[in-house]
Amino acid sequence: MGQADGAQKPAAPEIEAMYEYGYRKSNYGPDELVTDAHGNPISVIDAMMSASEAGQTETVTPHLCYYSPRIPGNTGSAIRLCAVTGTILHLVEPLGFNLKDTKLRRAGLDYHDMAHVVLHPDFDDLVNSMPDSRIIAFTAHATKLYTEVEYKPTDILLFGPEPGDIPDPMDIMEGPHVAEQVRLPMRPSLRSLNLTNCASIAIYEAWRQLNFAGGR
């Protein structure tokens, strides 16, 4: 008798073995995307860098910082951006979502991507962990274009929260710790770009200036 419509055939033993070593096991749900080398779920926090590690790590691109991000999908995309460019992503609390949010994890994250992320309890923790870094704030209030800056791998590219009901933290974006304020050009009277689209443009411009070191 034939198999009923829609029923799935059991995985062959060799396929199950493949999932066991280096791939996600077949019986895990679609949201269990943060895994170890054998495909087993691990804590998101355990997969991250510490602030001290990030401050001592030599990078080929500037660091990227999201201050109080609110939309999990944007942060998930930023984590993947940083993984493929060798950038370290700093997330400054409070966050507008739980790090276990399914929209964050559905951005295609895995253990190696999360190894490029640092979580800070507040902005002072970021500043104190990288005291010699230049902070460049990306804000629509700036007059200088982002292409007018000569970027260094030790720089921190700072982006504020996505637009919403919470006012922008101008004490962070315009504070004395900020060395430069820059903006991306846009046509007049149009809404801003998506947060991670902006960050991607900035990171790739900085990486281009640095001759795409470490890339191919």
Annotated binding site for S-adenosyl-L-methionine, which residues?
160, 184, 192
Per the annotation, binding residues are 160, 184, 192
Q: How far apart are CA 197 and CA 16, in angstroms?
A: 38
Instruction: Name the residue type at position 192.
Output: S
Q: Which helix (H) or strand (E) holds 10?
A: none
Q: Where are the alpha helices (DSSP H) in the chain?
A: 13-20, 51-56, 72-85, 102-105, 111-114, 123-129, 170-173, 195-209
Q: Which of 48, 59, 58 is nearest to 90 (CA)?
A: 48
Q: 53: which DSSP letter? A: H
E strands in the chain: 63-67, 89-92, 117-120, 135-138, 144-145, 156-159, 178-183
List the strands of the sheet with 144-145, edge to edge.
Answer: 117-120, 89-92, 63-67, 156-159, 135-138, 178-183, 144-145
- Cα of first residue to Cα of last residue in the chain, in angstroms, is 54
Scan for tokens 């030790």, then name that residue: 154
